[in-house]
Amino acid sequence: MKFLFKTDYEDDIRLFPHSGYLWTYGTLLVLIAAAPFVLSSYLISQLVFVSIYAIVGVALLILTGFTGQASLGHAAFLAIGAYTTAYLQQFGVPFPVYFLTAGLLTGIIGAIVGFPALRLHGIYLVIATISFALIVEEILARWESVTHGNEGLRVKTIQMLGTTVPRDSAGFYYLCMGVLIVVILGAINLLRSPTGRAFVAIRDSETAAKSMGINVSLYKVKSFAISAAITGLAGCLFAHKLTFISPEMFTLQLSIEFIMVILIGGAFSLHGAVLGAIFIVMVDPFLTFLKDDIPGAIANFSMLMGAGAERAAAIEKSTAAVASANGLKGAIYGFLIMAFILFEPLGLYGRWLKIKLFFQLFPLYKRATFKRQKIYVKSERNR
Amino acid sequence: MSYFRAENLSLHFGGLKAVDSVNFAMEKGEILSIIGPNGAGKSSIFNLISRLYDPTSGRLFFEDQEITHEPPYSIAKLGIARTFQNIELFENASVLNNLLVGRHRHCTSSLWQEILYMPSVRRDEKIHRHKVEQVIEFLDLEPYRDRVISGLPYGVRKVVELARALCTEPKLILLDEPSSGLNVEETTDMSFWIRDMKSELGITVLMVEHDMSLVSRVSDRVIALNYGKVLAMGQPAEVQSHPDVVAAYLGA
Ligand SMILES: Nc1ncnc2c1ncn2[C@@H]1O[C@H](COP(=O)(O)OP(=O)(O)OP(=O)(O)O)[C@@H](O)[C@H]1O
Ligand SMILES: [Mg+2]
């Protein structure tokens, strides 16, 4: 077991509470930097998606996890960031300018969405944010002079410091990781400041927050604006990664994926956003694997078990049909959401903390350690 | 001019008169208790003062300023803090963070300063932490500093809520049934703290309480309320033996 002695208020404020953290994150940073030299270009490309999803995850965590305001409209914020990018590029605006503008504009729209959302709670807020997303989708399809409607828009390669940064280059990967790290650091700072505590206060008791002098409406709008702005930045990167954007890329399905990022990762910690993003992005390669390799493997296996060649071919065909069925992804997502809400409401990060605690306390770990917490989360989360 | 004043304060829920033309005034540094049977309208008066409810009629004054139309969050900024009958803490946060929220009215940093965690933010955080530690010491909360509220026993939560109110550095504090759910020992502690709040911190206390022995031990004056109306006002012993008050409690 390890004991920590605190001797200064600084001990509770510090970014890295003790040197162990510095080692862990230092190693992680080295791994991130080394990845392009080691991993295949396909995996690097997936890591770019992980970073983009993680940025949106952090944004959603601030709004939903910390302020308690649910949103199923984040695909729309992502779209606004992406379209701002594509639109401004046409006028030769340099990358840093349109990148920041994408964040700023999306932030302003987030604040505007925040106002009508002030009086809504729980499921009503979810419905309101879905409606907002549908409106945005519709506008993108209809406002042809700006968005080219359903034909979509091309996104040009980033030009920066006299060089180009193609979407599959190591440079673009570093850019995305850099943005993710900066966003996470900013979020950590915000959450350990008065504003972050005000968010948590609003999440847990609006009445008490008010009587402590917190202007609840103002802080809710702030939370919406910050969350939207971060998502707008991710939208800019997303546009560059896809090189082509059209309205059907920003549907409800995408918003649900973002919610899943924080649900699976763990809605009470920034670690959760990153873990959840890795998980969600890796579902796709996993499905490809299912489609390509599993049916053949099962057929071979049944041959081995003594089934005839004809029988094996039939089995291969039927498993292939299941693996490539439409909506398999949706079904897997639905199953995962239910499983996490029922069995692991604190997400992957919560699971990791338990494993860590198990080893720290070994052999004194009690199963009941997290019981009360779990009961609490279950009973209160659907208020 | 009195320090705090309620003038003809009324609150109606449809036909129900929860608070009915209540008049009272408080002097600076006084401990005033409101007693009355269940449903008398005691908590409603608190909710009116903290502006969670709009009065049907009547006016409220604090330090000669009318506060009847202030938004709820500026009540705390003016120096009025409160606790709740059914504890309203931030359940998933640590005791420390709950108390730091109490410092909110003294926070001045801007969003950008916080995102960059500028030296000024760091300095302020330490000042707030220092103030919070003083309250922790005052209420003996040291063992619970890093505990999350949802895992704390009821008695401790009650004290944490009082601590959070004190962290705002209030001039007037509203305590809604500070001793309910506490055992004898905890109630004794509470009575000492309430008296110390007055004598050491110079805070004016308005309190709703059912425990008559606590009321007579700490109060300077008592108001008895029934069906939203003031029955009697004066010295604790005087009010408790007032025939109307006795009748109200016996349900006559
Ligand atoms: N939001 C509300 N809507 C309708 N009626 C209410 C509301 N709040 C309180 N009341 C009613 O107003 C009356 C006074 O309630 P209040 O909570 O002030 O009583 P109290 O004196 O604090 O009682 P207790 O000792 O039980 O806490 C009660 O009859 C209650 O039912
Ligand atoms: Mg009450």
CATH number for B70 = 3.40.50.300
Please give the Cα distance from B178 to B84 (Å, whole number). Answer: 9
Q: What is the mean pLDDT of residues A232-255?
A: 91
Please give the Cα distance from A213 to B103 (Å, whole number). Answer: 9
Cβ pair A189:B117 closer than 8 A: yes
Q: Which residue of B has its CA nearest to A184?
A: B115
Residues B106 and B149 in one domain: yes
Cβ pair A205:B88 closer than 8 A: yes
Instruction: Find all residues with CB under 8 Å of B76, minimum gap 6, and list them.
Output: A211, A212, A213, B104, B105, B168, B170
Q: Could you tell me if the CB of B143 is within 6 A of ligand 1? A: no
Q: Could you tell me if the CB of B36 is within 6 A of ligand 1? A: yes
Which of B10, B42, B215 gets mutated to test ligand 1 (max ligand atoms within 8 A of its CB)?
A: B42
All residues of chain A having their beta carbon less than 8 Å from the beta carbon of residue B52 are 207, 210-211
**What's the pLDDT score for residue A379?**
46
Of residues B73, B84, B125, nearest to A215 (C-beta)? B73
pLDDT surpasses 60 at A359? yes
What confidence tens digit (pLDDT) does each residue in B122-169 have?
Answer: 999 999 999 999 999 999 999 998 888 988 888 899 999 999 999 999
Q: Pinpoint the alpha helices (H) of chain A.
A: 10-13, 19-38, 41-60, 74-89, 95-117, 122-142, 144-147, 170-191, 194-204, 206-211, 216-242, 252-265, 270-292, 294-304, 309-323, 328-343, 347-361, 371-380
Within a domain: residue B221?
yes
Residues of B with CB under 8 A from a CB of A: 50, 52, 71-77, 81-82, 84, 88-93, 96-97, 100-105, 107, 109, 111, 114-117, 121-122, 125-126, 129-130, 148, 150-151, 164, 168
Residues B187 and B66 in one domain: yes
Query: How high does pLDDT run on average in chain B?
Result: 90
Predicted confidence band of residue A383 (pLDDT cuts 50, 70, 90): very low
**What's the pLDDT score for residue B89?**
92
What confidence tens digit (pLDDT) does each residue in A303-322 have?
Answer: 777 777 777 777 777 777 77
**What's the pLDDT score for residue A173?**
93
All residues of chain B having their beta carbon less than 8 Å from the beta carbon of residue A345 are none
pLDDT surpasses 50 at B42? yes
Query: How many structural domains comprise chain B?
Result: 2
- Residue A57 is encoded by which pair of tokens? 């995850």
pLDDT surpasses 80 at A326? no
For residue B250, the distance in angstroms to the closest alpha carbon of chain A comes to: 34
Closest ligand 1 atom to B208 CA = 22
Strand-pair partners of B207: B33, B175
Within a domain: residue B32?
yes
Please give the Cα distance from A375 to A106 (Å, whole number). Answer: 37
Please give the Cα distance from B59 to B75 (Å, whole number). Answer: 14
Q: Which candidate in A11, A16, A66, A193 is best for mutational testing of the B interface (most B CBs within 10 A)?
A: A193
* Domain A35-281 classification at class level: mainly alpha
**What's the pLDDT score for residue A265?**
80
**What's the pLDDT score for residue B129?**
92
All residues of chain A having their beta carbon less than 8 Å from the beta carbon of residue B142 are none
**What's the pLDDT score for residue A178?**
94
Q: Could you tell me if the CB of B226 is within 6 A of ligand 1? A: no
Q: Could you tell me if the CB of B55 is within 6 A of ligand 1? A: no
- Where among B154, B179, B207 does a domain terminate? B154
The better pLDDT of the pair A312, B61 is held by B61
**What's the pLDDT score for residue A93?**
87
**What's the pLDDT score for residue A214?**
93
All residues of chain B having their beta carbon less than 8 Å from the beta carbon of residue A203 are 90, 92
Within a domain: residue B87?
no
Within a domain: residue B27?
yes
Tally C-beta pairs within 8 A across A and B: 117
All residues of chain A having their beta carbon less than 8 Å from the beta carbon of residue B50 are 210-211
Q: Which residue of B has its CA nearest to A210?
A: B73
Sign of the Cα torsion A138, A142, A144, A150 reads positive
Q: In percent, how much of chain A has pLDDT > 90?
A: 32
Nearest alpha carbon, ligand 1 atom 18: B41
Nearest alpha carbon, ligand 1 atom 6: B13
Paired sense of beta strands B80-82 and B31-35, if any: unpaired
- Is residue A276 left, alpha or beta, with left meaning phi > 0 and alpha meaning psi from -120 to 50? alpha
Predicted confidence band of residue A371 (pLDDT cuts 50, 70, 90): low
Within a domain: residue B159?
no
Please give the Cα distance from B43 to B209 (Å, whole number). Answer: 10
Residues B180 and B213 in one domain: yes
For residue B134, the distance in angstroms to the closest alpha carbon of chain A comes to: 13
pLDDT surpasses 50 at A160? yes
Residues B175 and B246 in one domain: yes
pLDDT surpasses 80 at A332? no
Strand order in the sheet with B57-62: B16-26, B4-13, B57-62, B65-66
Beta-carbon neighbours within 5 Å of ion ligand 2: B 43, 85
Q: Which residue of A has its CA nearest to B78?
A: A213
What confidence tens digit (pLDDT) does each residue in A340-355 have?
Answer: 777 776 777 777 777 7
Cβ pair A9:B76 closer than 8 A: no
Residues B187 and B236 in one domain: yes
Residues B62 and B181 in one domain: yes
Length of chain A in terms of residues written: 383
Which range of residues forms the domain containing residue B8?
Answer: 4-79+170-250
pLDDT surpasses 60 at A358? yes
Q: Which candidate in B92, B124, B126, B158 is best for mutational testing of the A interface (most A CBs within 10 A)?
A: B92
Closest ligand 1 atom to B225 CA = 21
**What's the pLDDT score for residue A305?**
74
Taking the Cβ of residue A61 and every Cβ of chain B, the question of whether any pair is shorter than 8 Å is answered with no
The 10 Å Cβ neighbour count of residue A167 is: 19
Q: Which residue of A has its CA nearest to B53?
A: A207
Within a domain: residue B163?
no
Q: Which amino acid makes up residue A30?
A: V
pLDDT surpasses 60 at A49? yes
Residue with tokens 């705390």: B76
State the distance from the centre of ligand 2 to the C-alpha of B105, rounded, in angstroms: 26
Of residues B91, B115, B125, nearest to A186 (C-beta)? B115
Nearest ligand to the C-alpha atom of residue B44: 1
What confidence tens digit (pLDDT) does each residue in A114-130 have?
Answer: 888 788 887 888 888 88
- Give me the residue spans of the domains in chain A: 35-281, 282-344
All residues of chain A having their beta carbon less than 8 Å from the beta carbon of residue B89 are 204-205, 208
**What's the pLDDT score for residue A127?**
87
Question: Is the peptide bond prior to B119 cis by the omega test (within 30 degrees of 0)?
Answer: no
Please give the Cα distance from A298 to A321 (Å, whole number). Answer: 13
Residues B149 and B174 in one domain: no
Strand order in the sheet with B229-234: B80-82, B172-176, B204-208, B31-35, B221-226, B229-234
Q: Which amino acid makes up residue A55?
A: I
Cβ atoms of B249 and B225 closer than 8 Å: no
Within a domain: residue B175?
yes
The better pLDDT of the pair A13, A187 is held by A187
Q: Could you tell me if the CB of B38 is within 6 A of ligand 1? A: yes
Please give the Cα distance from B252 to B247 (Å, whole number). Answer: 5
Which of B9, B11, B13, B84 gets mutated to test ligand 1 (max ligand atoms within 8 A of its CB)?
A: B13
Residues B70 and B180 in one domain: yes
Residues B70 and B98 in one domain: no
Cβ pair A189:B90 closer than 8 A: no
Predicted confidence band of residue B246 (pLDDT cuts 50, 70, 90): confident
**What's the pLDDT score for residue A378?**
47
Q: What is the mean pLDDT of residues A271-296?
A: 80
Cβ pair A13:B72 closer than 8 A: no
Helices and strands, counts by H and E, chain B: 10, 10
Cβ pair A214:B104 closer than 8 A: yes
The better pLDDT of the pair B192, A156 is held by B192
Q: What is the mean pLDDT of residues B157-185?
A: 92
Within a domain: residue B210?
yes
Nearest alpha carbon, ligand 1 atom 1: B13
